[in-house]
Amino acid sequence: MRRHQWRVAVSAICAMALMAYGHQPADAQVIKTGPASCPAVALTYDLCPVRTASGFDRELIEFLIANHIPATFFMSGRWMARHDAEVKELLAVPFFEVGTHGEVHAHLPMLEIEEQQREILGPVRVLKTKYGRAATLFRPPYGEYNDHTVEAVKDQGLQFILWNIESGDPDPTLSPEAIVTRLQKRMKPGSVIVLHANGKGKHTREVTESLAATLLPAKGLIPMTVSDLLRCNQTTVRLRP
């Protein structure tokens, strides 16, 4: 699908979804997928702080931009502090979306609620004060959370975004073919796929290319940002008491 076709398809689907479902209440939710009625998936890329990798998968980003593929990036505060130019680059792409991923990539359930609040608020504040962008999405490091995490995210007015398909791209033992096979088996309308754009995913670009060129068209799906996907409605998993 060509660049302008991605844009037209996303606009049409979102318009139909808004008419079908209308406004959704804003309450404490842990979101793992979009609606199964929406023929799209969200490609999401975590930007966790790293020590041994490059910190920024330049080839991946260039591929997404060149092919006009919508994507959502979750940036940690520590990663942002070390990648100012890259933050500005991502924010400048109109079909990219940026969320936050905690300050130092901590294990949030091990922290008291005040510490969790500080960990969550750090990159939200930087995104607003330094880059003039209000955060709307949050993804907890390692996908870990508890009641305090949900409460802290709600207090910040953020949507709590997890995923329903883990690509496994940071695993050095997985070949691109193995990752693609995993995605092919699990992918369905409304899926939220987690990958990495910080250089830890050795084959992330190759996998993304396969998604765009083969897997998504074969299943009749298109890529969307998380927010566009959720405008179709919301499928959520509520934290058990």
3-class DSSP state of 217: helix
The single-letter DSSP state of residue 103 is S
Helices (H) and strands (E) in the chain — how many of each?
Answer: 10, 10
Quote the pLDDT of residue 204. 97
Quote the pLDDT of residue 51. 84
Answer yes or no: are the C-beta atoms of 198 and 15 closer than 8 Å: no
The CATH number, out of the four listed (3.30.980.20, 3.50.50.60, 3.40.120.10, 3.20.20.370), of the domain defined by the range 3-237: 3.20.20.370
The two structure tokens encoding residue 201:
């995913």
The domain spans of the chain are 3-237
Quote the pLDDT of residue 96. 98
Q: Let me know the angle formed at the C-alpha of 123 by 122 and 124, rounded to the nearest 5 degrees.
A: 90
Q: Strand pairing of 165-166 and 192-196?
A: parallel
Task: Indicate the Cα dihedral angle 212, 198, 89, 3, nearest 10°.
Answer: 0
Quote the pLDDT of residue 54. 81
Answer yes or no: are the C-beta atoms of 197 and 56 closer than 8 Å: yes
CA atoms within 13 A on the CB side of 225: 20
Per-10-residue mean pLDDT, the chain, length 241? 53 43 47 94 96 90 98 97 97 98 97 96 97 97 95 94 96 96 96 96 96 95 96 51 33
